[in-house]
């Protein structure tokens, strides 16, 4: 079906992203697995292809594009079977919006050229071992000492956390104020006192999910993004964007899984006929195709609403809830149609199935999305 809300420029970007992943990701998957994840050269090649920093304004060398480009990038990454192994990777480019929307000119001049070129990758350390769903419960502090902040604390489950060059650390500059005392501070990853390592994951076996510790890390006050106490506003500005790109990735992965499964059931013979010829197979595939089509329309309508600044918080929650649950349903059905072959790790569908489970927890569980939706219902009463 024809997609709605995408310009010719958007569709050209989609073709560019698809060609990039087909050329630079899938053929390199064994190399990435051996190295434990994608390398800096991959980021540089993504920069050369024009895939990074789509939102960066023209005065800083960017194209000044809208967030639709990031959604497209996420969808095409999800449509890349190997991304179930290498993880979120380029989706971390959403952090660029924090800098573009809230950074000052000096910060933009310092970092945006490297982001565009793929020389600088980013992460946003927010979650902590004892603070996930409730961001205001974080314990990491950034105490001012003259012209510096001294940052101390632990961060966990951080996407791109072990490999990123620049960290947007969420810390309490006023621990007595909970959410109103939280700020976002830029920390270069090689700053003394920063230690980090990858966390082994059930899915995304060679992805970059990191644990970080900050031991009296000293950075200049000029690294503060926006004002002190502004972190919750900055975070709220990124929630809808994150849900859109997660939904895009789920849609891409489900679509790829259906394509892989169709090819398999049309070639696999059982009792003298193709697996595709069994009515049960056709019914299951029909359900998958319908789920994908509904998600595609839902995502596209939300993208248009977001561009028009009309997408509500609870609508974003509904999109993430639907898309992540849909991906889980589709991947489960696809693995079942593969039979024993679908359980082998060497088969992409097996890794895609495991990776899909992450999405219902990642960036806010399905249960938290339901809470947000319920709050929207309460407001309607």
Report the alpha-carbon distance of residue 298 to residue 311 in Å, rounded. 12
Report the alpha-carbon distance of residue 9 to residue 270 in Å, rounded. 46
Contacts for 286 with CB less than 8 Å, ≥ 6 apart: none
> Token match 């890390």: residue?
217
Q: Which parts of the chain register pLDDT below 50?
A: none
In this structure, what token pair is assigned to residue 87? Answer: 């993880």
pTM: 0.95
Strand partners, 145: 148
In this structure, what token pair is assigned to residue 43? Answer: 């980021």
**Burial zone of 130 (CB within 10 Å; 0-12 exposed, 13-18 middle, 19+ buried):** exposed
pLDDT at position 381, please? 64
pLDDT at position 1, please? 62
- The 8-class DSSP code of residue 107 comes to H
In this structure, are residues 159 and 184 in contact, taking their beta carbons and an 8 Å threshold? Answer: no
pLDDT at position 92, please? 86
Q: What is the dihedral of CA 228, 232, 236, 237, to 10 degrees?
A: 10
Report the alpha-carbon distance of residue 354 to residue 81 in Å, rounded. 12
Report the alpha-carbon distance of residue 91 to residue 160 in Å, rounded. 9
pLDDT at position 114, please? 97
| Domains annotated on the chain, with CATH | 8-121 (1.10.540.10), 135-229 (2.40.110.10), 232-380 (1.20.140.10)
* Nearest CA among 164, 54, 156 for reference residue 112: 54
Can you list the pairs that 371-375 forms with residues at least 24 positions away whose Cβ atoms lie under 8 Å? 372/313, 372/314, 372/316, 372/317, 373/314, 373/317, 373/318, 373/321, 375/314
* Nearest CA among 14, 10, 11, 12 for reference residue 22: 14
pLDDT at position 380, please? 80
């Amino acid at each position: 079906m024809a997609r709605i809300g995408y310009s010719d420029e958007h569709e050209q970007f989609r073709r560019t992203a698809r060609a990039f992943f087909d050329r630079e990701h899938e053929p390199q998957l064994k190399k990435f697995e051996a190295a434990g994840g994608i390398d800096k050269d991959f980021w540089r090649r993504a920069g050369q292809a024009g895939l990074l920093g789509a939102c960066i304004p023209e005065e800083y060398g960017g194209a000044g594009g809208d967030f639709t480009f990031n959604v497209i990038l996420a969808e095409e990454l999800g449509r890349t079977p190997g991304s179930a192994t290498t993880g979120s990777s380029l989706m971390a480019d959403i952090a660029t919006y924090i800098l573009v929307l809230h950074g000052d000119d000096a910060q933009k001049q310092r970092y945006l050229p490297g982001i565009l070129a793929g020389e600088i990758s980013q992460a946003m350390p927010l979650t902590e071992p004892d603070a996930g769903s409730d961001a205001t419960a974080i314990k990491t502090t950034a105490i001012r000492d003259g012209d510096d902040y001294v940052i101390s604390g632990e961060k966990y489950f951080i996407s791109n956390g072990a490999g990123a060059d620049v960290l947007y650390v969420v810390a309490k500059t006023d621990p007595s104020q909970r959410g109103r005392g939280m700020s976002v501070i830029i920390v270069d990853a090689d700053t003394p006192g920063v230690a980090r390592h990858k966390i082994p994951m059930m899915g995304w076996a060679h992805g970059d999910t990191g644990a970080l510790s900050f031991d009296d890390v000293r950075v200049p006050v000029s690294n503060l993004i926006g004002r002190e106490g502004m972190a919750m506003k900055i975070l709220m500005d990124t929630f809808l964007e994150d849900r859109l790109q997660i939904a895009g990735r789920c849609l891409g992965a489900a679509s790829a899984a259906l394509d892989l499964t169709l090819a398999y059931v049309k070639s696999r013979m059982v009792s003298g006929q193709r697996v595709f010829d069994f009515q049960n197979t056709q019914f299951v595939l029909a359900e998958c195709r319908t789920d994908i089509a509904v998600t595609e329309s839902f995502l596209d309508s939300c993208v248009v609403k977001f561009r028009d600044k009309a997408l509500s918080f609870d609508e974003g929650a509904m999109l993430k809830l639907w898309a992540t649950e849909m991906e889980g349903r589709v991947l489960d059905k696809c693995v079942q149609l593969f039979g024993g072959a679908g359980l082998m790790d060497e088969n992409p569908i097996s890794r895609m199935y495991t990776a899909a489970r992450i999405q219902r927890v990642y960036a806010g569980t399905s249960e938290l999305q339901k809470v947000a939706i319920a709050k929207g219902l309460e407001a309607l009463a």
